[in-house]
Structure 1
């Protein structure tokens, strides 16, 4: 889908030299307001003071270039520590004094009980699981009284407080860019206060069909959809997500939907546009990262497994399979490791020549379902390693359980096969990052249900996420693929990433909002 190159889109072309003061910002034509659960920094209350740490993740890296513009303000949530009055005063001082001077961050403090209900219980245990079609042992389960309270007193209350914080900030908004499933009610709440300010809500994770959404109460669904339809533009990762959203509006709301033009008639008579904006990465920033001392050190640490030394393979007979993802049920690691075990069973001759390096980032360890899933993943790893250790002359699966981006980049650069067998993904930026940094060259094995599969069909090997046999065969094919075919596939994927970067993703959304301003 093509998007115009309007005034807001051209905002990305300007490189800021300094940041406007609050007074300068208020007196300007208005600020572009980014709203997300998480901002470019994590604020942690520790030993009676706030500790500021850089935040990781795809959302932050994609939005950061825009956030550095002088007339952009970023509102983000922070779990407030007791005593609230002391921590709140210190929070605003810390945000002003200890964050990047090119960022204008406004933290929205939420009492820890509200934050946990809004973020942990509803956003992660309910919405995340449903939208990734995860139901049962490692997913969504019954809604008891506690979860109903979490919806009302946590999720809805948090969104109301965010809207109030924006209103009371005194900052004049020009445009709202609202991020992800944590903030579904927010567009409608902001429209009540700022009816003439254009807004776009972008959902970074998959959007489910109406059958899955019928697993939550009708009143919750109505709040979600009426909240989203408060925006002028509803952004999704893929055309498939957009169609599912349109179908839900028709089936669950009885709204008038125009599938051809991608619009939904809101209750107030507006036509809300539904558009796909495929998220991407920043190739130039990745190239710069690969020159860093941290990546160089990671290459050396990984050399015993990758066999690389000074940019060359010591032993061309050795190959590596790599996966890089959060330890999350949606990432489907258990099936991936079972498929690797099946590969070694099918091809015992590979035992001494293939290693699986798994870079697993700790995730949401405060939630029981995630801890249980982590234990199940390690049980599967132990089973495969125990079974094949003798034939492989060592454990064939090596786990790196840490959040070390540079180490993961070094592994992706050197691997022969990248495995991304997610149950479902909004996009999966790991694949696009790998396409930029791979030097082997390698081959990607990707789930058909990952959003990125829509743009990699000609360059990756696609698998069904629950097909153990098929995934094992795909890894076998990838390991045996001739270098010429690997290089051709990688070139195709790399060109697609360079032709549509994170800057293009942002510009397309801003250009779509320009249409709203012109209407």
Structure 2
């Protein structure tokens, strides 16, 4: 099943042993198959343990409307129950966690050690870090024997098992929509089994240039690129990602690339189309969330910091800066908090009137690099709070360490500045959700290396992610911006979000595959 150098050999699959006929589907044309690492459910830390609840962010929210249709099947990875000693230290998602009566979910069970190697060691400690250009401290630093084993026995093995599960399910596929960096080898594996079924792979995170991809072994990057070229369409967030992928195919594979038309000649003679589909949010769903009791309760809880009170005018002298992101090195929180400290140093008159509300979502806490990064973030927060607490008459940075989307939406609604200074982002949907809910109106300060910067040049203040001084000055400008300019900038960004929603993102991919969708 695998060659000794780590490349995928020919996939060998058993004949299905279940009782499902290949023609036993609601639609004679077959089912649309979604494949992702994640299922429809997420986890929140509550009462000292993880609690399952419907996922609300990113990938899941965008594909959920399609996934609810009767002729759509969703394959996702789950871990078989780990030993008790392992389960205390790591977060595993099981088949029971992903059961949902409103979706046709097919969980693909992986032994816990395979799941951890595939998901934790390779997908998150190597690929995620590399593709966000996080090399060194709090990032990808080296490949030892353990990571080589994790690539072969975890990452490649997981993709092989997913392909096998799809084949053995007996479900007739009409087309495949394959999601993200966890599943780079999968398009090629599925093409071996279903050579005539169209497929699209979409990468939600930034795609690196060929020099960066050379930081992993040749056999690994060949598997990634050839795996993606097994699809009919390779989808990226923006042209900033499409161009590097085309360059990698040309420079590292020697493939014939047409940059003008966005195509790559695959080894089997096919022309693979490379297209940009910018991810977005569902404005109507976000608006509906803002009417929920949970958001109303969150407004009341946050009132001491936001100044919001039902039926009363807000104290215009008080201002808030808000950030909402996973506690992840790619989100660059340390630089953001250092920049806030620099802002208070530049403008001591702001100390009593400005607060920074940080909504930090726990992320991958089973990985040591994430725990170390979390500790470093809290150290920086403590430094800023200690230094300025007296002048600010209290700690200027308030942290909300939880996965509470309604609370974050309530804060974004009332904030004066949204800071999204990520080191690099495929898109950053938080910015788009903020554009829907902002009422102040607020101003967005965004890293120019985030995908969303491609549509916000005229509406946000863009900063270099490592520029502490520049970020501080941008926040200062945003806090002092006249209301007319704030409103004009927000209107421009809001219009762009409404003109290209999550539904458009999905419809464009289905159209590229020539697959119809029942709304």
**SS of residue paired to 2:26:** helix
Whole-angstrom distance in 1 between the partners of 2:86 and 2:217:
38
Checking the alignment, whether the CA contact within 8 Å between 2:203 and 2:236 is kept in structure 1 is: yes
| Structure 1 residues 14 and 481: alpha-carbon distance in aligned structure 2, compared to 1, 3 A threshold | farther
Checking the alignment, whether the CA contact within 8 Å between 2:2 and 2:9 is kept in structure 1 is: no
Higher RCO, Cα 8 Å, sep 6+: 1
Which range moved further: 496-505 or 74-83?
74-83
**SS of residue paired to 1:518:** coil
| Structure 1 residues 404 and 89: alpha-carbon distance in aligned structure 2, compared to 1, 3 A threshold | closer
Per the normalisation by structure 2, the TM-score is 0.91
Residue 169 of structure 1 and its aligned partner are, at CA, apart by 0.2
Whole-angstrom distance in 2 between the partners of 1:308 and 1:264:
54
1:415-454 counterparts in 2 under 5 A?
415-454=415-454
| Structure 1 residues 170 and 303: alpha-carbon distance in aligned structure 2, compared to 1, 3 A threshold | same
Checking the alignment, whether the CA contact within 8 Å between 2:98 and 2:105 is kept in structure 1 is: no
| Structure 1 residues 347 and 120: alpha-carbon distance in aligned structure 2, compared to 1, 3 A threshold | same
Whole-angstrom distance in 2 between the partners of 1:400 and 1:409:
13
Which range moved further: 99-108 or 417-426?
99-108
Checking the alignment, whether the CA contact within 8 Å between 1:6 and 1:511 is kept in structure 2 is: no
Whole-angstrom distance in 2 between the partners of 1:253 and 1:168:
32
Residue 99 of structure 1 and its aligned partner are, at CA, apart by 3.9
| Structure 1 residues 380 and 166: alpha-carbon distance in aligned structure 2, compared to 1, 3 A threshold | same
Which range moved further: 235-244 or 96-105?
96-105
| Structure 1 residues 374 and 517: alpha-carbon distance in aligned structure 2, compared to 1, 3 A threshold | closer
More helix by share: 1
- 2:95 aligns with 95
| Structure 1 residues 425 and 97: alpha-carbon distance in aligned structure 2, compared to 1, 3 A threshold | closer
| Structure 1 residues 382 and 231: alpha-carbon distance in aligned structure 2, compared to 1, 3 A threshold | same
Checking the alignment, whether the CA contact within 8 Å between 1:428 and 1:451 is kept in structure 2 is: yes
Whole-angstrom distance in 1 between the partners of 2:222 and 2:146:
20
Summarize deviations over 1:70-120 as a string: whole Å, max 9, x none.
Answer: 100000000111589999999999969984433100000000000000000
Residue 63 of structure 1 and its aligned partner are, at CA, apart by 0.4
**SS of residue paired to 1:52:** strand
Whole-angstrom distance in 1 between the partners of 2:68 and 2:9:
15
Which range moved further: 27-36 or 196-205?
27-36
Give RMSD over aligned pairs. 7.5
Unaligned runs of 5+ in 1: none
Residue 285 of structure 1 and its aligned partner are, at CA, apart by 0.3
Residue 315 of structure 1 and its aligned partner are, at CA, apart by 1.1
Checking the alignment, whether the CA contact within 8 Å between 1:9 and 1:511 is kept in structure 2 is: no
| Structure 1 residues 470 and 45: alpha-carbon distance in aligned structure 2, compared to 1, 3 A threshold | closer
| Structure 1 residues 98 and 387: alpha-carbon distance in aligned structure 2, compared to 1, 3 A threshold | closer
Checking the alignment, whether the CA contact within 8 Å between 1:426 and 1:451 is kept in structure 2 is: yes
Which range moved further: 80-89 or 362-371?
80-89
Summarize deviations over 1:119-155 as a string: whole Å, max 9, x none.
Answer: 0000000000000000001100110000000000000
Residue 437 of structure 1 and its aligned partner are, at CA, apart by 0.4
Checking the alignment, whether the CA contact within 8 Å between 1:12 and 1:65 is kept in structure 2 is: no
Per the normalisation by structure 1, the TM-score is 0.91
1:399-418 counterparts in 2 under 5 A?
399-418=399-418
| Structure 1 residues 51 and 408: alpha-carbon distance in aligned structure 2, compared to 1, 3 A threshold | closer
Checking the alignment, whether the CA contact within 8 Å between 1:232 and 1:516 is kept in structure 2 is: no
Summarize deviations over 1:274-318 as a string: whole Å, max 9, x none.
Answer: 000000000000000000000000000000000111165431100
Whole-angstrom distance in 1 between the partners of 2:6 and 2:502:
17
Which range moved further: 25-34 or 241-250?
25-34
| Structure 1 residues 88 and 275: alpha-carbon distance in aligned structure 2, compared to 1, 3 A threshold | farther
| Structure 1 residues 312 and 44: alpha-carbon distance in aligned structure 2, compared to 1, 3 A threshold | closer
Which range moved further: 47-56 or 480-489?
47-56
Unaligned runs of 5+ in 2: none
**SS of residue paired to 1:75:** strand
| Structure 1 residues 106 and 469: alpha-carbon distance in aligned structure 2, compared to 1, 3 A threshold | same
| Structure 1 residues 248 and 14: alpha-carbon distance in aligned structure 2, compared to 1, 3 A threshold | closer
